[in-house]
A = this chain, B = another copy of it.
Amino acid sequence: MAMVCLSDFEAYAKKYLPKIAWDYFAAGADDCTTRDENILAYKRIRFRPQMLRDVSVVDIRTKILGSEISFPVGIAPTGFHQLAWPDGEKSTARAARAMNTCYIASTYSTCTLEEISAAAPGGLRWFQLYIHRNRAASQQLVQRAEALGFQGLVLTTDVPYTGKRRDDVRNGFRLPPHMKVKNLEQAFEVCKMSPLDPSVTWNDIYWLRSLTRLPIIIKGILTREDAELAVRHGVQGIIVSNHGGRQLDEGPATIDALVEVVEAVRGRVEVYVDGGIRKGSDVLKALALGAKCVFIGRPALWGLAYKGEEGLQDVLRILQDEFRLSMALAGCASVSEIGQHLVQFSKL
């Protein structure tokens, strides 16, 4: 079977992963409306391609928070990579480094931050943080990440409690006994009473700020009001995200929310987006609407499920080729030429 586009990897993963793992990765909250809307919303955006631009050389490189990446697609934080591939996050880290892009390692990794670092020294990585009831545990994680050379701290804001994913409830999902949320092993066990702290508020950004010199990127923002608050609380970046539709169902598609967040932010901090990216042209649309970079979640897992590090590189390479081609066909020779004039919202 030729792996031509990302849905080939999805089909592979659906076929070969254990059902309980596939269901966990695929799950959306409740009716999965938002999960699916993330994809559909891209289809309602139309390009306005420009002809007869010199696109003999197409430069797809960009920078995020000052670091150059080979193209504006990074790896979003997702949990439990060993469910997809035995080497877990170590493979992810290697693939991201090989493709010269950014990998946001999740708190809920099945490898430790140290293992991830050691697997791919020198790779550009950010660390995704949930603030726990046990604040000391969170503080320790942040400081470990900083010490290991992670270059950004991504605070996830949309999980005061876990969303209701019906299939996980039906399956009684839990990690197989041989896998562990290793980063937190000492502190507490997953799948008992949730360790996440639902009392976190905007003021906790100041507390985080006091712990680390890493830039803070806030993830889960969907409205102009929260975007304004994020900027005022001094974050360095915003990831427009609805957690892949796994938390509050029937919130906005992220590409739709991106528009209002970008407008509110007015360039004061970098804005990124995740959710629903399935083709290189989706990346182009997100950038045209103001994202500095996008992050992929499930497609990275499909790549891992296919062939580990190599499979994830395949996924990234396809996105890269498709993104470059889309840019050329839209008349853009470099990322800086991408702008809102390239897209319009379909009336349908």
A residues adjacent to B (C-beta < 8 A): 2, 4-5, 30-31, 33, 43-56, 157-158, 160-161, 163-164, 166, 169-170, 197-202, 204-205, 218, 220-223, 225-226, 229, 247-252, 279, 281, 285, 321-322, 325-326, 328-330, 341, 344, 348
Please provide the 8 A-B residue pairs with the shortest distance between their CB atoms, ordered closest to farther.
Answer: A56-B199, A248-B329, A51-B157, A56-B198, A47-B251, A54-B199, A52-B202, A48-B223
B322/A164 in contact, CB under 8 A: yes
| Chain B residues near A251 (CB-CB < 8 A) | 46-49
Q: Which residue of B lies closest to A251 (CB)?
A: B47
On whether A56 and B226 interact (CB within 8 A), knowing A4-B169, A49-B251, A164-B322, the answer reads no
A248/B281 in contact, CB under 8 A: yes
A198/B54 in contact, CB under 8 A: yes
Copies of the polypeptide in the assembly: 4
A201/B328 in contact, CB under 8 A: no
Min C-beta distance of A194 to chain B, whole Å: 11
Min C-beta distance of A49 to chain B, whole Å: 5
| Chain B residues near A157 (CB-CB < 8 A) | 51-52
A158/B204 in contact, CB under 8 A: no
Q: Which residue of B lies closest to A329 (CB)?
A: B248
| Chain B residues near A2 (CB-CB < 8 A) | 169-170
Complex Cα distance, B347 from A204, in Å, reads: 36
A326/B248 in contact, CB under 8 A: yes
Q: Which of B51, B205, B348 is A221 in contact with, Cβ under 8 Å?
A: B51
On whether A164 and B325 interact (CB within 8 A), knowing A158-B49, A170-B4, the answer reads yes
A328/B198 in contact, CB under 8 A: yes
| Chain B residues near A4 (CB-CB < 8 A) | 166, 169-170
Provide 26 A-B residue pairs closer than 8 Å at the C-beta atoms, listed in order of the A residue: A4-B169, A5-B30, A5-B166, A31-B279, A43-B250, A44-B348, A45-B250, A46-B252, A47-B248, A47-B252, A49-B223, A50-B225, A51-B158, A52-B204, A52-B226, A55-B161, A55-B199, A56-B197, A56-B198, A158-B329, A160-B328, A164-B321, A164-B322, A198-B328, A248-B281, A250-B281
| Chain B residues near A5 (CB-CB < 8 A) | 30, 164, 166
